[in-house]
Amino acid sequence: MAVGTGKVLLPAHCRPKIGDNLLNFPEGCEAVINELLETAPEALASQDVAVLNLLCAPSLAGSEDLNIPKCVKRVDELAAFVKTNTERDLHRQPNNREYGHSEPMWRIAWLITNVKRDFGATYSPTALADLQAGIDAPFSDSRECFIHGLLGDDPKRRWGTCANLPVLVVAVARRLGYPVGLAVTRTHVYARWEGRERFNIEASGPTGMTVHSNDYYSSLRGGMTSQEKKSKFYVRKLTPAEEFATFLSTRVACLRDAARYDETLLWLARALQFAPDNPNWAKGADFMLNLALKHRLWRKHPERKIPAPDAPNQPYFHCGDLLSPQELPLVMTIRAHHFESIGNLEDARREHECACRHNFLGGNEQRDFQHFLHKHHLPRQIRPLMPPKGACPPRRVTLPTCKPHEEATLLCRLADECERSGNFVRACNCLHDLYMFDPSDKGVFQRARAIEERPQFQEQLRALIEQSQRDSQPGFFKGNTFASILKGSNSHVVRSN
């Protein structure tokens, strides 16, 4: 799947929905995952965890026969099977709590029994052998990483690992209305029930369900560092956005082990943005970024010897020579999280600002920047605002001669006048330039997005582009078609004079 990197800028009523039968063909799946990658984190709570997991598998080894609607239907059938068996045998549930039994534990234990014993989902023998030998198994087969490997037609080949077995359990549990979600340690994924009762659910073991304490998971495989404990990311129920980020990082691992380094940038950046509190992903993402850039450098200059990542005298190269404009904000996001992880907040802020400037349409970049400011109690830009310096996208509005510290005020006034008069394209261009001054201004970003949602904005933009094409004025729009504008390609620039 060749997933794009631009924000999908479509009117709300035109945006792809999972229920629009788009999952029946590869292009539809690509449209849906691109939309989900730009979705606000809180909106992911309404999405099916099974679909989110499956959408991260296409194009990976082992996904050649992937049929997402068929997999979702099988999860639905499995949930119906579990529900029937549970309700039929509910009277057998013991009520004596002296033995540690409760109805929630009984229900989830019965669910896992049905999934493993009756449906045949089990731990991969090859992965288990590697685990017992102390070997880190490669992410070479997506069927052992995503739930389609547990939903195949052959019940004797429904193999998985801790990367997908807990996900299938959560997908079935949520269909039954159980308050179950994923939880993680640095090297392990499990499930957790959080309702009136709270307990951990180990679904990857060779038998049925096992309930372990938080202390057990905190000390698993070497325990947690002080930084990991301080982050409070591990050993708790993940949010839906953090679950999605876990699937994205699993895809990165598969791409890495297939030596498809170039394809990791989008997934790395989005995983960091959907789970910014993970204390370990920033380091791994920065390593993968350097690997991807060196791989590109080697392809561009095969005569050069590229040293190992831990070797001294690393090569110098200019990122702009190796990256497309759409990839720049992704790289800046990865760098921002890396600087934050090593305590360099000044450089982290600079990279966050640059990521926002290079993707004016980027809701992920803006949310990520706001989270960074809030987390570290950092102020917004100090007034008066001054024009941005250094590498920055071209300005869209030509202002009359004025002093630099007066430009922001003039742009704000001009945006108000254009919006009142109904010139929405020009108003959005003014907000674009104002955003270049201060990417920390969430209000400017939200106002621009609200204007772009208006049908009048889309109509005016279409008319301007069509007029530009008729007049054959190269440079008026850096984009060839109206479709490319609506798809949110960050290469388009509307110049307003």
How many residues in total does the chain contain? 497
- Count of other CB atoms within 10 angstroms of residue 16: 19
End-to-end CA distance of the chain: 40
- In eight-state DSSP terms, residue 40 is -
Task: Supply 20's token pair.
Answer: 């629009």
pTM over 0.95: no
DSSP helix/strand/coil, 44 = helix
Sorted by sequence, the CB contacts under 8 Å of residue 181 that are 6+ apart come out as: 170, 191, 192, 194, 237, 238, 240, 243
Closest CA to 186 of 276, 279, 289, 273: 279
Residue 480: predicted pLDDT? 35
The CA distance from 35 to 363, in Å, is 12
Residue 489: predicted pLDDT? 34
Task: Name the strand (E) or helix (H) holding 201.
Answer: strand 198-201
DSSP helix/strand/coil, 496 = strand
Sorted by sequence, the CB contacts under 8 Å of residue 50 that are 6+ apart come out as: 71, 72, 75, 147, 167, 168, 171
Sorted by sequence, the CB contacts under 8 Å of residue 133 that are 6+ apart come out as: none
Q: Which residues of 371-392 are buried (b: 16+ CB within 10 A; e: fewer)?
A: ebbeeeeeeeeeeebeebeeee
Residue 11: predicted pLDDT? 39
- In eight-state DSSP terms, residue 117 is I
Task: Supply 309's token pair.
Answer: 């990542």
Residue 313: predicted pLDDT? 78
Residue 61: predicted pLDDT? 94
The CA distance from 362 to 336, in Å, is 15
pLDDT, one tens digit for every residue, the chain (497 residues) = 434 333 333 334 444 455 557 788 888 899 999 999 999 999 999 999 999 999 999 999 999 999 999 999 999 999 999 999 999 887 777 665 544 568 898 899 999 999 999 999 999 888 888 777 777 778 889 999 999 999 999 988 999 999 999 999 999 999 999 999 999 999 999 999 999 999 999 988 877 788 999 999 999 988 899 999 999 999 999 999 999 999 999 999 999 999 999 899 999 999 999 999 999 999 999 999 988 998 888 888 888 888 777 788 777 777 778 889 999 999 999 999 999 999 999 999 999 999 999 999 999 999 999 999 999 999 987 778 888 887 788 999 988 888 999 999 999 999 999 999 999 999 999 999 999 999 999 999 999 999 999 999 999 999 988 888 877 655 444 433 333 333 333 333 333 32
The CA distance from 147 to 246, in Å, is 13
Closest CA to 362 of 450, 449, 271, 477: 449
For residue 7, how many C-alpha atoms fall within 13 Å in the half-sphere facing its CB? 22
Task: Supply 438's token pair.
Answer: 């201060």
Residue 482: predicted pLDDT? 36
Residue 205: predicted pLDDT? 80
* Contact between residue 171 and residue 78 where contact means Cβ atoms under 8 Å apart: no
Residue 145: predicted pLDDT? 94
Residue 12: predicted pLDDT? 44
* Contact between residue 197 and residue 104 where contact means Cβ atoms under 8 Å apart: yes
* Contact between residue 172 and residue 82 where contact means Cβ atoms under 8 Å apart: yes
The CA distance from 394 to 143, in Å, is 45
Closest CA to 484 of 46, 67, 34, 6: 6
Closest CA to 357 of 301, 440, 291, 418: 440
* Helices 363-375 and 265-274, packing angle to 10 deg: 50
Q: Are strands 180-184 and 189-194 parallel, antiparallel or unpaired?
A: antiparallel
Q: Are strands 122-123 and 198-201 parallel, antiparallel or unpaired?
A: unpaired
Closest CA to 282 of 362, 365, 340: 340
For residue 27, how many C-alpha atoms fall within 13 Å in the half-sphere facing its CB? 0
Closest CA to 364 of 404, 394, 336: 336
* Contact between residue 105 and residue 211 where contact means Cβ atoms under 8 Å apart: yes
DSSP line for 171-199: HHHHHTT--EEEEE-SS-EEEEEESSSEE
Q: Give me the residue label for tokens 């057998």.
A: 92
The CA distance from 405 to 415, in Å, is 17
